[in-house]
Amino acid sequence: MEAAIRERDTTLERMVNAKAITRAEADAAKLEPIKVRPRIRRAARESFAMDAIRRDLEIILEKEDIALGGLEIITTIDLRIQQKAEEALEKKLSEVERIHGYSHPTRAAWQRLPEDARGQDAPKYIQGATVVIENRTGGVLAVVGGRDAKESRFNRAKDAKRQLGSVFKPFVYLAAFDKGLRPDHLISDGPIQPGEIKGGGTWRPRNSDGTYGGMLPVAHGLIRSRNTMSVRVGDFAGIPRVSEVASRAGFTTPMPENPSSFLGSWEASPWEVATAYAIFPNDGARYRPYLISEIKDREGNVLYSTLPLAYPAASSGSAWSVSRILGEVVTRGTAASVGRLGFDKPCAGKTGTTNDFKDAWFAGYTSSLTCAVWVGFDRPKKTIQGGYGSVLSLPVWVDIMKTADRLGYKAGKLHSRVNLVGVELCRLSGKRATGGCREAGTAHTDRIPSDIVPAETDFCPIHPARATAVVEESATTSKPPRALPVDAPAPPPRALPVESRPPRALPVE
């Protein structure tokens, strides 16, 4: 304290000599009692959020501006959400480390090591990352790049490129829906045959449970995360279209151009996953994610400001269709434990687990927020036996979302503005039905978003024979329009005949 007082008085005298203040002002300042800030405010606290903010500042500002200081930086981070995300991740991973028979190094054991025994490498205990984004602005509310920034500065939220697994599948379906496939059309869940998939050669991916089915609705493939169905959906869309959809959604890592990419065999960061998933609650629009909303100088002049910036990443109808399926994933699919964990508000999302349980993902959203969670080791290896995304990552997501809802980021109704139109389609081709489709038992009436209704001349190519095209009545005639209002009940599906012949593959266009 004595040294601090001496330095203060010396500085005040220099200010008098420089005529920055008067003698009276200096003497008055010397008589003021010294107030020391609380220890928590004096200690420098490492933070993954601050790391991400500093990176953006270095892009926005000149280094001289940063060094001179005096700037007011207004960020999008909500400290309450940030702290809850950090707590939820640490809570879950600490639980994992206490599982009987857990064979990996634990954080508690690492912390007991003397500092000189810890080495310079990142800790070897299990890690995780999460990113939380506000849907309608792109503002990032939380960035957690690991369990503790003081123990490891590596920001896994932005810098870790990890295999995606099934968390990428919704974008495969999104691309296929853009091309005309519909959730209740039929596709085979049987084994992939050599040469069946374009560019796949003899590649024969299996379903994770080792079982196979027959012709099933397309939506079932995403709800139950069926590999064979998802590969066929991707084959229908085509590699170029899926790659383009991924890029527009926010994956900056280029998707490898091979069919195994449909199953998420490539890598991306949690930041990319979170920003990409935000297009689903936004009806296909992608808001540019940002951390810094405004910068002011000493006088309060605005030097920099950010306004929400969005562009269409996918058709609203296709995004709505995928989102409806992802809503079923959390009620009766691979993420059905959302309700059991205590979150009963409207939400949607998808789990992801890579081979041998090396990476566990969950990405999901409410009407307000989108959040992606990843769990794994820095050097990929099995986490725990049965380390699925629903086991390791989903509980973290639920904790964050429960807190966010209490704090005012309410989970309201998803997708209330979609205009649905009744159209008769073929369950196999996804095109407008013909008389041949009716005779084959594949014609059905579907209520689909108006922006993805097939053109009036886009008829089924599988059943053209013996066919009189089913043409919708014009709105200009005296007959009532065929369009169905949003709140009208969907027509009952037509029963399909049981066929003894093997399921037929989708046509190659």
pLDDT in tens, 24-82: 999 999 999 888 877 656 555 678 999 999 999 988 887 667 777 788 999 999 999 99
Q: Residue 242 to residues 172, 186, 270, 398, 427: CA-CA distances in angstroms?
A: 6, 20, 19, 29, 22
Q: Which of 293, 296, 297 is nearest to 306 (CA)?
A: 293
Within-domain flag for 423: yes
Within-domain flag for 501: yes
Residue 42's pLDDT is: 59
The model's pLDDT over 362-371, given as tens digits with 9 standing for 90+, comes to 999 999 999 9
Residue 287's φ and ψ, nearest 5 degrees, are -90, 135
Within-domain flag for 487: yes
Residue 468's pLDDT is: 47
Residue 41's pLDDT is: 61
Within-domain flag for 98: no
- Which position has the token pair 């992606």? 372
Is residue 266 within 8 A of residue 164, CB to CB? The reply is: yes
Comparing 72-86, 224-238, 256-270, 468-482, the range with the smallest average pLDDT is 468-482
Confidence of residue 311 (pLDDT cuts 50, 70, 90): very high
Q: Tell me the one-letter amino acid at 488.
A: A
Q: 484 pLDDT exceeds 90?
A: no
Is residue 130 within 8 A of residue 89, CB to CB? The reply is: yes
d(CA 171, CA 499): 31
d(CA 222, CA 238): 17
Is residue 156 within 8 A of residue 86, CB to CB? The reply is: no
State pTM to two decimals. Answer: 0.80
d(CA 114, CA 239): 52
Task: Specify the 3-state DSSP secondary structure of 408.
Answer: coil
Residue 45's pLDDT is: 64
What is the total count of domains within the chain? 1
Q: Tell me the one-letter amino acid at 256.
A: P
Is residue 509 within 8 A of residue 236, CB to CB? The reply is: no
Rg (CA), the chain: 28
CB neighbour list of residue 407: distance below 8 Å, 6 or more residues apart: 78, 80, 81
Residue 508: domain span = 419-509
Residue 489's pLDDT is: 45
Q: 292 pLDDT exceeds 90?
A: yes
Q: What is the DSSP string of 126-173?
A: -EEEEEEEETTT-BEEEEE-SS-TTT----HHHH--EE-GGGGHHHHH
Q: Residue 180 to residues 85, 129, 404, 431: CA-CA distances in angstroms?
A: 39, 36, 37, 7
Residue 202: count other Cβ atoms within 10 Å of its Cβ: 8
Residue 44's pLDDT is: 56
The model's pLDDT over 313-359, given as tens digits with 9 standing for 90+, comes to 999 999 999 999 999 999 999 999 999 999 999 999 999 999 899 99
Residue 472's pLDDT is: 45
Within-domain flag for 505: yes
Range 177-186 average pLDDT: 88
Q: What is the DSSP string of 204-248?
A: ----TTS---SEEEHHHHHHTT-HHHHHHHHHHH-HHHHHHHHHH
d(CA 179, CA 38): 60
What's the CA angle centered on 270, arms 266 and 275, to 5 degrees?
105
Give the residue, 445 or 465, on which the prediction is more confident. 445
Give the residue, 447 or 380, on which the prediction is more confident. 380
Q: Beta-strand (E) ranges in 279-347? A: 285-287, 292-296, 302-305, 310-312
Q: What is the DSSP string of 3-30?
A: HHHHHHHHHHHHHHHTTSS-HHHHHHHH
Range 206-213 average pLDDT: 92
Task: Specify the 3-state DSSP secondary structure of 377.
Answer: coil
Residue 323's pLDDT is: 96
Q: Which of 169, 175, 180 is nearest to 221 (CA)?
A: 169
Structure tokens that stand for 333 in this block: 């699919």
Within-domain flag for 75: no
Within-domain flag for 95: no
Is residue 169 within 8 A of residue 350, CB to CB? The reply is: yes
Residue-wise burial string across 367-401, b where 16 or more C-beta atoms lie within 10 A, e elsewhere: bbbbbbbbbbbbeeeebbeebbbbbbbbbbbbbbb
Q: Residue 463 to residues 16, 187, 236, 417: CA-CA distances in angstroms?
A: 94, 16, 18, 34
Q: Which pairing describes strands 140-144 and 348-353: parallel, antiparallel, or unpaired? A: unpaired
d(CA 218, CA 355): 24
Range 165-187 average pLDDT: 93
Q: Considering the chain, what is the average pLDDT of its residues?
A: 87
The model's pLDDT over 387-436, given as tens digits with 9 standing for 90+, comes to 999 999 999 999 999 999 999 999 999 876 777 888 888 888 878 888 88
Within-domain flag for 499: yes
Residue 490's pLDDT is: 43
Residue 428's pLDDT is: 80
